[in-house]
Structures are given as C-alpha cells and as structure tokens.
C-alpha cells in the first residue's frame, strides 16, 4: 500500500496491490482518489493518508493476509506510524517499509543483501535498518500491528526483487505515483 498526491496535494491517491504468496503474482490492484482532508503535518501523516487508504482497502475483492505499507510502523515518535494505524483499523498484520528514518539511531549497516542492524530509540528496538540491495541506501522496516520485528524483516527480505523496495510496496508506489497504470477516478 502506498499513497501519492495529485494537483499539488489537493487529491490523495491510495494504491493497494494484492500479490499471491508464494510467487508474488499480481492478483488485484485498486487505486482510490479523493480530496485531501488534512494538511501535511510531519509525524501525523496517517491523519492525511489513512482515509483514502481505508477506502482503497474497502474496494478489494479479497482480504489480504499481510499488509506492507510504504511508511513507518512503530519506528515513529509516538510508535504509531501509518502502518500501525492501518493495521489497527483493518485488524490485519502490517509492517512499515520506509525509505527514510523518522526517528531513532543505528550503527553501520552491513553491506550484504538481507543483513540488518537494529533501529534504536534509547534502549528500545523500534525497527531494523535493512540492506535490501548492495550499494544503495538501506530501508527502514518496522512492525505495524500483529507482527514481530523478526517477522517484518523476514517478510520484507522474502519479497525483495531486483530493486531496493520489496515488490508489494514497489508496485503500490508505481500506482500511487502514476508511474504504473493510469486511472480516471476511483478504481483501476
């Protein structure tokens, strides 16, 4: 699941891609567009993005077993990023995969694909800094809801393809940012 914006942020574009496991074949894609109702406030993105995401999920013909979200899970100052929010609303296991660190600190990330180092806030482990591809910046993985950190990392690594992002979020990112299939209004 990923969110994009159109018309300078006036329209929120939520994309959900359901993949088969194993194999990662695309089973279903939904794009939902609606007017943006909440301003951009760092750390409160769920208030801006969640309404469109929930609407997109409501259009699915099948209920996913696990949701990968382009964003933070508990690696968030309030331990409640969009992946955690979405998991609570949907009552599904969720994990967040972010391209940037929102909070916490970490040591050196090993350069081997699939290796990771803990993301810490004080003494609390809030996520993993994962090397998803050699020679590129790592991704930040954190559990959202009903999932351990070890499982979140395991699923992320299992869904990696040839790019930095795991396939579910890579495909959703393409749709949310309009680099994938186009849609008019509503569903694709």
Known binding residues for Mg(2+): 2, 70
Vertex 147 angle, CA 143 and 153, to 5°: 60
Detail the residues annotated as belonging to a binding site.
2, 70
Identify the helix (H) or strand (E) that includes residue 22. Answer: none
Order across the sheet with 11-19: list the strands.
2-6, 11-19, 26-35
* Token pair of 154 as six digits: 């395991």
Query: What value does the CA radius of gyration of the chain take, rounded to a whole number of Å?
Result: 16
Distance CA 179, CA 171 (A): 9
- Separation of alpha carbons 179 and 165, rounded Å: 15
Cβ 141 vs Cβ 68: under 8 Å: no
Taking the CB of residue 184, how many other CB atoms lie within 10 A of it? 8
**Of 95, 105, 53, whose CA–CA distance to 74 is shortest?**
95
Could you give the dihedral angle defined by the CA atoms of residues 102, 105, 111 and 115, in that order, rounded to the nearest 10 degrees? -80
């Amino acid at each position: 699941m990923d969110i994009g914006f159109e018309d300078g942020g006036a329209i929120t574009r939520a994309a959900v891609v359901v993949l088969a496991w194993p194999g990662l074949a695309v089973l279903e894609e939904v794009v939902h567009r609606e007017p943006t109702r909440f301003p951009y406030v760092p750390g409160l993105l769920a208030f801006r993005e969640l309404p469109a995401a929930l609407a997109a999920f409501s259009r699915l013909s099948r209920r996913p077993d696990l949701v990968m979200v382009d964003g933070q899970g508990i690696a968030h100052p309030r331990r409640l990023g969009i992946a955690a929010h979405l998991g609570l609303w949907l009552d599904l296991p969720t994990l967040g995969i972010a391209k940037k660190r929102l909070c916490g600190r970490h040591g050196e990330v090993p350069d081997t694909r699939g290796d990771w180092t803990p993301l810490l806030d004080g003494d609390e482990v809030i996520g993993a800094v994962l090397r998803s591809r050699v020679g590129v910046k790592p991704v930040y993985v954190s559990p959202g809801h009903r999932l351990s950190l070890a499982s979140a990392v395991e699923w992320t690594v299992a869904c990696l393809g040839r790019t930095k992002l795991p396939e579910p979020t890579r495909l959703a990112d393409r749709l949310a940012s309009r680099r994938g299939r186009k849609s008019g209004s509503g569903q694709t």
